[in-house]
Structure 1
Amino acid sequence: MMRTYLPLSIFFMYFFCFILQASAEFLYSDSIKTRLSIPSKSVLAPYKIVSGGKMGNHGISSSPDPMVNYYWENEDADLQVYHLRPTSISVNNEEAFENAKSLLHSSGEITVNGVGELCFDFGTESAAWLEFDSPDFNGDVEMSISEYNQPGVFNLGPQAPTKTAKPVKHGNTYRLELNKALYEGVRFGWIQVKAIDKPWHITDVRLVCQTKPANYKGYFESSSVLLNRMWYTGAYAVKLNLLKDHLGAILIDRGDRYSWTGDAYVSQGVSMLAFGNYDLIKENLKRTAKDDNAIESYSLLWIHSLLDYYKYSGDEVFFREHLSTIDLKITHAAEVIEKQSHLGFYGWDERIGAGFEDPNNPESRAAYQLLYIQTCNMLSPILKSLGQNEAEEKYTDAAIASLSALKSDVNRWSKIGIHAATEAINGGYLSDVETKAMLERHFVDDSQIVSFSPFNQYFIIRAMAKEGWHEQALHAIDLCWGGQLRLGATTFWECYRPEWEAFLKPHSAVPNGQHGYTSLCHPWSSGVTKWLSEEVLGIQPIEAGFKRFIVKPFLNEEISEVRGGVPTPQGIIHFALDSKSGTGKLTVPENTVAELMIPTMGKKISRVRLNGDVVRDSELSKNQEYLSLQALKGGVYDIQVEYAQSRSKMLIDSEDQDGTSITNNKISLVGIDSVSNKNDHSFLADGYLHFTSEDGSVDKTTLPDYIKDVTWKMKGNGTPRLDVWRDKQSSEIPVLATRNPQTCQQTYAVDILTTNDDRYEFTIRTAENTEIGEMVIDLFDQDSKKMIYPTIAVAPSGKLRYYTFRTQGSIRVRISHVRGGDVGISGLYFRKVNN
């Protein structure tokens, strides 16, 4: 394999960037320390003030959690609260607010002299409510909160879709109360003064943040600051959703705060790794055992959650108690496959049906069947070990039969996409040839390796790691979770596209879509935390309860050092390894046995010492990438690895680099025309479509012969409506529009179906007045549903605008809302291109 060396100048550029990142992280942590307040009393909070523990002496710079360093002696089931002070305060009328910045500190006072708006950034998202103190409040005031830097507005369903209201008075405290539980996902807050009778004063403003007493028993650190931030951000997002006796779902109240069964698979896995709260996870499994949320894959993922809990906890009694539940779910899944029943949902990505819009498409069907086969295969060895031979044989035979049936349908098997391929690879039942073909077909294109929801992305990176594609997985991780952090995330989002980095500013409102308004704190999106502990730190159970476990870290030239811990029922497994110094340490809890895999880093290892004693060659199991030390019993092991040679230059594998960025030549943007007075019928001579029919039908007489049809959904989620846009001259222009604020109606797709694969140009005409909001346009291949052009952001311009593309074949155009009123398009135009 050919390798190229990175020039020294670029090495120093990387080093300089690392120093800048590290400095930023120090400031990030330091700002949290100055903002956190644990008051002596609070008469307003429904929970007691944080108590029962103490703050540690050392900070964790990578964590956005203000309480990351707090240790509870007893992890009380009841929630507790603490106060958080803003990191910055801005005003839109300086004369109205005297001494506005004083409340950044522990004591201060703002004098309100007139109307205007105060905006507070609290630096990190919290499960909180906003309140301020005033001894002489008067006038007309509203308050707002949001996850981003504009007052929050959400879909219908919650008690308060608009996150703005008049404060509720409690003595001298004025609190924004938006729901019975009080808490929302809050990073930004506002006090809007509409009118005053005379000057008055604000003596304090704060978030009252609720928290579940949960100690960080697990931890992760490496030489990559970005990976460290990912681990702690994912853990924090899960912690924010820990409630008294179960694991919650959506932090911001959008009306869907349920205990989502499938979401819990990722959330529970992260929670066990980070907090070791096995009892809570056990209770959550009980809570969700009979609830599939009307989503078939979630029923199977409940089994995965149970398996995960069993492997981590070793709770055999609890596992045996649910054998009948497992059998019911497996039997039902087989019936779903046989009868082609409604799947309900498989993910938000276009390729798996765009959420609830088309969940029964071929890719979702194949993914579900392969998930079923994977589940049967995962159950079989565990059931055999527990003496459940009849059930083991039943599931093994079912998996073999279902896989054979799927493979016999050559057209379906050969056309599966990345999501179905992911389930197949994670199932471990493919041949080496089949696995290699799937990896090379689906996992090398930057534009395709990131799923729209980070929930599904976890399974993708797990499949890549399973086949040793850690480098490529880390690249995909940077595109997905790294991009969110670069846009200011302190918790991970429900949905994300890497293309958003090109046009979004940090902390701004993000596009909405099939999922409705986007949640910026979704615990199901935290799978990267679990992946980093299992694949980079490398600690995984081999036997239930970690009675036997493996430590197999992944290190390279950029990640030269890793250290961390995983809580187990036997105690915390601590591990550290620095490949540059060749030193490390492993703590193996009593009554457990470890296998330690030492990475060779592409070098020859001349000697390994444990606690100063040289390990004989006969005690080492070797391959090209790792040396293995087996049967390490309970104790602490100092590790010293002597590498025979050292490389001072960073290596980049040129073959790997060549495969990670594939240019899509199917489509190109020809131009954007903002002139609003064009003659629509002559803009493109071949044909056009205006959205004038009230019943949603298409007047095909205006379409050219190479356009077979133009279609969109007529009922259910993702169904647009006809509206009328009026320009400055009061001219009326019909628009195909979203149905905001109805739930999951913030987007729709229009399919352009062609009769052949000849090249042509199509133009999307938008209609952008001040009443119509911001939107994005995404373009997909209509057959594969792969994204074929980066997301285009459209802000209201007050004009008609024409976006012209050159392409071939059938295309899907998706329109998605960002902020403001309904969004839509007002016309499509076509022109044939001579090849």
Structure 2
Amino acid sequence: MSKIVRCITQIPTISRSIFVKFSGMLLIAIVTIPCLSLHAQINVYPHITAKPTGKRVIHSPDPLVSYRWAAPRASDNMETYILKPVKISGSKSFDMKNYRSNDRIAVNGMGDIRFDFGRVSAAWVEFDSSDLEGEVEMSISEYDQIPVYATNYPKRTLKPVKRGNTYRLELNPQLYEGVRFGWIHVRSFSRPWNISGIRLVCQIRPTNYNGSFNCSDTMLTRIWYTGAYTVKLNLLQDHFGAILMNRGDRISWTGDAHPAQAASMVAFGNYDFVKQNLVHTSTQSNGIRSYALYWVLSLLDYYRYTGDTATLESYIDNVIAKLDDAYKVYGTNPDLLFFGWDERLGAGFEHPNLPEPQNGYKMLSIRAWKEFASAMNQLDRKDLFDKYARYAEEKMQAIRKDEAWYRSYGLHASADAVNTGYLTAQEQHAVFKQSFTNRVNRISYSPFNQYFVIQAFSAMHQYDDGLDAIRDLWGGQIKYGGTTFFENYRPSWNAIIAKNGAVPSNQCGFTSLCHPWGAGVTKWLSEEILGIKPTSPGFESFQIMPHLGRTLTYVSGAVPTLKGEISASFNLLSGKCSFSVPAGTKGTIGIPKVEKRIKALHVNDVLFWDGNYHSIEGISGAYEDDEFVYLKDVQPGVYNLQVQYGGVTPKHSVLPEVFPATYIGKDYSTGGNWGGTYGKDGYELCNYDGDGKHRQRLPDYISSINYYKIFGNNLPLNKTWRINTTDKRALAPSSANGFPRNAACIYSEDQDQIGYTFTSTINIKEPKRYRVTLYFLDWDGKGRKLAVEAFDAQTSELVAPVQVIEHCENGAYITFEYNRSIKFRINPIRGLTPVLSGIFFDATQ
């Protein structure tokens, strides 16, 4: 829970509003300070003290990207600003013709009106009215529909609290939620009245954009700033938290915080806040073994960026305990509890101890031992260097006793293996070909886990493919309409979900559209594409090695350090480059060749390189390899370069998306009369005979059908809507399509959110091409809209694009064709519970 900074009670409402045009929206420069009730302590913060003195960035979703605070600190109080809607839509009961001129909407009857504030914010919604009559409710959402949850979860539609003439939706004492859309619902009406001052009151921690990024691909630029904005929104407490809607984990999870802290350092340079979060989470792993190791990596990240030796030394015993515990359980297949939401990692808390996450944990341990050993070497702690270097090398040597050790590794374990830094060029080539060349399945369901995947891309020098994966995962979220990065995402969502539409819930429960663990890409772009990273603690020495690959022609940006800003710019078309080296540091700079040759290089108008080094002040020497011309020991100063290139950079070919299963289609017309159309080879009618008894006649090529739902006895729940019915929507008892029928299903309940979904696994005896059809029925008219995911049952790789079933009040079939065992995950999008009523098997046509 957030620290209560200021609690005001019984203070009259004070409103002063100055409207400023900003990026297509209205930003109120002075916030309304509402009076508060005696009945609850509510956080109320002062108006922002920042000024728009920085550079405007059109590719940033942050309305305050150009605002600068004077020396912000981690101890600063929260502040507020206000956003006005960028788009309003409502029924005929709302007269909006005068809204632009006088900020008023006339209410002439019952109905709903929706406000789009243009971006997700950490905020609450409120409006003013001096003449409101009747009953109203308000709603909020991150997407363009009102969230629908079961009765045992906090509502997102409630009656607003009246504060004088202000009506505010108060969902918790902290007020804020992740909000982009807001609604006012007029539930009763007696006479006309007026809405005025509809606004989103946004909370923010003083944070400056001291870092920057820009490149020739505007999508990548947007991705960098979207990641930074996502982190900034989640700095609302005294640690890296979350503005999750309808979720109870508003805490700093040690693992989640790792990429968030990484992004925060390159975007904001708020090192004191990162240090504070390390303190806050130093004894927390939330029972998740990998998270304890991510905390170690976070501490080492912080040390590399700040050179804060005292903080590192103060946690040596803490780190030793974590690393020794990993060594103790290494090879015992310990209970990991969680390794990631991706199906291949056990779908979160469902099956966390599969071989893939266990292999990933081994490699994560080796990486943590090795990187800590390196840090101890820098501190002249030879005892600890020797101990943990030995741990890492010992386990890696044991793994290599099997020359083909990596063949059983999937994407995530392979990425963790690459990130140890131990793989030979031959091993990297084999791992890349095996796990990183499938465009569909080199994307993790979790942007958190994908951070380690893109680290592996760069470690293998596969930058073009790494950028393609970034465009698919993070760029796809922006194409969906996202202004922050999500907890989970699949690129195929965009083909089945309208822009800013409701997204699938899944094994994590209700999907968050603003989750800071997805922001690691921001640091990766700064370190790997712009190329700025420390080579000794605190940037006492650093490198700038830009990797533009075959798709980029320009990159520029800056990274804030405690020694000053390091900036760089590289333009391959004009040959103009520049960089700055702050006092107290020195750099090694690589001028990118991008598969061309550098014929001549001038520094500050003086010839520096023409195949040979020519002495120049501030640079001790130069050399080249296939990738760069390197400038050695560059001293503090500003350097402008002109590069003369020869040759042509080859074009890059993007891999196609290939799914091994075939999606055949949907059928909304057959209803329960499946005989003659489906199930000619066999079938299973779910819970048809009650009490979980499925009526079945399986084909000879099917060995079993298994169901799974986390919690309880790990089986979906059973529901019989009606027995002995003549309703044609109910599945017929046999292929004769006779009567009477039973209307039944299996389903999952969202009693703990992560029990909000279930799987059905169909096992075949040997490879054979066949068709499988699922039947869904929204018998009780709950407005169910479901997402169907199809995986290979053995590898858990996605084998078909995600599909949506909706409007299935009269029943709906969906058919796939595959040649191996297949697993389906049924996820709710709308409606209270996901359901499944039947499975049918047919020969291919």
User: How far apart, in 1, do the equivalents of 2:679 and 2:112 lie?
Assistant: 48
Q: Is the 8 A contact 1:130 1:175 kept in 2?
A: yes
Offset, 1:380: 1.5
Amino acid paired to 2:624: K
**Matched residue, 1:472:** 465
Residues 249-268 of structure 1: pairs in structure 2 closer than 5 A: 249-268=242-261
Show the counterpart of 2:66: 69
Matches for 1:413-424 after TM superposition, within 5 Å: 413-424=406-417
AA partner of residue 88 (structure 1): K
Counterparts of 1:51 and 1:744, CA distance in 2: 38
Question: Letter of the aligned partner of 1:721 in structure 2?
Answer: L
Task: Report what 1:636 is aligned to.
Answer: 638
> What secondary structure is seen at the aligned counterpart in 2 of 1:380?
helix
Most deviating of 188-197 and 77-86: 188-197
Pick one of 718, 721, 738 that aligns with 2:717: 721
What are structure 2's unaligned runs of at least 5 residues?
A: 1-19, 36-41, 614-620, 731-740
Give TM-score scaled by structure 1 length.
0.91
Match of 2:323 among 330, 339, 342: 330
Distance 1:667 1:89 in 2: 41
Q: Tell me the residue number matched to 1:626.
A: 628
CA contact (8 A) 1:87 1:104 kept: no
1:756 to 753, 766, 770: 766
Secondary structure of the structure 2 residue equivalent to 1:615: strand
Confirm or deny: 8 A CA contact 2:661 2:799 kept in the other structure.
Answer: yes
1:702 aligns with 2:712: no
Any idea what SS the aligned residue of 1:192 has?
strand
Taking a change above 3 Å as real, the CA distance of residues 192 and 780 of structure 1, as seen in their structure-2 partners, is same
Distance in 1, Cα, partners of 2:564 & 2:684: 67
Amino acid at match of 1:452: Y
Q: Could you say what secondary structure the match of 1:254 adopts?
A: coil
CA distance in 1, matches of 2:555, 2:825: 42
Q: Aligned to 1:747, which of 744, 757, 763?
A: 757
Q: 5 Å matches for 1:434-449? A: 434-449=427-442
Check conservation: 1:250, 1:256, Cα contact below 8 A.
Answer: no
Can you list the C-alpha shifts for 1:180-211, whole angstroms capped at 9, x where unaligned? 11000000000111112322111210000000
8 Å Cα contact 2:141-2:156 kept in structure 1:
yes
1:513 corresponds in structure 2 to 506
The residue type equivalent to 2:746 in the other structure is: L
Q: 1:776 to 1:80 in 2, by over 3 A?
A: same
Q: How far off its partner does 1:483 sit? A: 0.8
1:135 has 2:130 as partner: yes
2 CA distance for matches of 1:239 and 1:548?
28
Aligned to 2:616: none
The answer to whether the Cα contact below 8 Å between 1:698 and 1:710 also exists between their aligned partners in 2 is no
CA distance 1:714–1:749, shift in 2 (3 Å): closer
Question: How far apart, in 1, do the equivalents of 2:335 and 2:150 lie?
Answer: 26
Deviation at 1:764, TM superposition (A): 1.4
Range 208-217 or range 668-677, more displaced: 668-677
2:107 maps to which residue? Answer: 112
8 Å Cα contact 1:336/1:342 also seen in 2: no
Alignment partners' CA distance in 2, 1:244 and 1:801? 46
User: How do residues 485-634 of structure 1 correspond to structure 2 at under 5 angstroms?
Assistant: 485-556=478-549, 558-616=551-609, 617-618=612-613, 619-634=621-636
Deviation for aligned residue 1:281: 0.5
Cα 1:104–1:419, aligned 2, differ >3 Å: closer, same or farther? farther
Deviation per CA, 1:565-619: give whole Å up to 9, x if none. 1010101111112121111221111000011101113333222122222214233
Q: CA–CA distance in 1 between the matches of 2:818 and 2:786?
A: 22
* Post-superposition offset of 1:728: 7.2
Offset of 1:412 from its aligned partner? 6.6
Provide the rounded CA distance (Å) in 1 between the counterparts of 2:190 and 2:822: 59
SS of residue paired to 2:582: strand
Separation (CA, whole Å) in 2 of partners of 1:275 and 1:86: 28
CA apart distance, 1:696: 4.3
Matched, 1:287 2:283: no
Q: Residue type of the partner of 1:369? A: K
Q: What residue in structure 2 maps to residue 351 of structure 1?
A: 344
CA RMSD in angstroms comes to 2.3
Partners in 2 of 1:104 and 1:353 — Cα distance? 51
Stretch deviating more after TM superposition (67-76 or 713-722): 713-722
2:27 partner letter: L
Q: Give the deviation of 1:715 after TM superposition.
A: 5.0
Is this contact kept in 2: 1:278–1:313, CA < 8 A? yes
Equivalence map 1:275-314=2 (5 Å): 275-314=268-307
- CA distance 1:681–1:745, shift in 2 (3 Å): farther
Partners of 1:681 and 1:165 in 2: how far apart?
Answer: 49
Aligned-pair CA distance for 1:157: 7.4
Local SS of the residue matching 2:816: strand
User: If the length of structure 2 is used for normalisation, what is the TM-score?
Assistant: 0.90
Q: Is 1:807 aligned with 2:800?
A: no
Alpha-carbon offset, residue 763 of structure 1: 1.9
Within 5 A, what are the aligned runs for 1:72-151? 72-75=69-72, 77-92=76-91, 94=92, 96-98=93-95, 100=96, 102-104=98-100, 107-151=102-146
Pairwise CA distance, 1:709? 1.3
- Give the distance between the partners of 1:788 and 1:696, measured in 2 at CA: 29
**Distance in 1 between residues matched to 2:129 and 2:58, nearest whole Å:** 34
State how far apart, in whole Å, the 1-side matches of 2:126 and 2:193 are: 16
Q: Which amino acid aligns with 2:132?
A: F
Percent identity over the alignment is 38
Return the alpha-carbon distance in structure 1 between the equivalents of residues 831 and 290 of structure 2.
34
CA change 1:238–1:40 in 2 (3 A) is closer
Q: CA deviation at 1:39?
A: 1.1
What CA distance in whole angstroms lies between the structure 1 residues aligned with 2:341 and 2:710?
A: 18
1:458-492 superposed Cα distances (whole Å, 9 cap, x missing partner):
11111101111110011111110111111100001
Query: 2:148 is matched with which residue: 145, 153, 165?
Result: 153
- Aligned equivalents of 2:821, 2:31: Cα separation in 1: 65
Contact 1:154/1:517 (8 A) holds in 2: no
Q: How does 1:633-672 map to 2 (within 5 A)?
A: 633-644=635-646, 651-653=650-652, 656-657=653-654, 660-661=655-656, 663-667=658-662, 669=664, 672=667
Q: How many residues are treated as equivalent by the alignment?
A: 792
State the Cα distance separating 1:313 from its structure 2 match: 0.8
Q: Please say which of residues 201-210 and 385-394 is displaced more in the overlay.
A: 385-394
Q: 1:408 to 1:644 in 2, by over 3 A?
A: closer
Q: 2:809 aligns with which of 786, 798, 801?
A: 798
- The answer to which of 402-411 and 421-430 deviates more is 402-411
1:12-51 superposed matches below 5 A: 32=23, 34-39=25-30, 42-44=33-35, 46-51=43-48
Distance 1:411 1:783 in 2: 20
Give 2:387's aligned amino acid: K
CA contact (8 A) 2:666 2:812 kept: no
How far off its partner does 1:739 sit? 1.1
Runs of 5+ consecutive residues of structure 1 not aligned to the other structure: 1-28
Report the CA distance between 1:53 and its aligned residue: 3.1
Range that drifts further, 379-388 or 204-213: 379-388
CA apart distance, 1:50: 3.2
Counterpart AA for 1:447: V
Instruction: Report if aligned partners of 2:109, 2:192 keep a CA contact under 8 Å in 1.
Output: yes
Task: Name which of structure 1's ranges 126-135 and 33-42 shifts more when overlaid on structure 2.
Answer: 33-42
Deviations 1:505-556 (A, max 9, x none): 1110011111111000000011111111111111011001011111011224
Correspondent of 1:393 among 376, 382, 386: 386
Q: Deviation string for 1:91-150 (max 9, x for gaps)?
A: 12x2x222x254456x42222121111110000110000000111122100000100111
* Paired amino acid for 2:755: Q
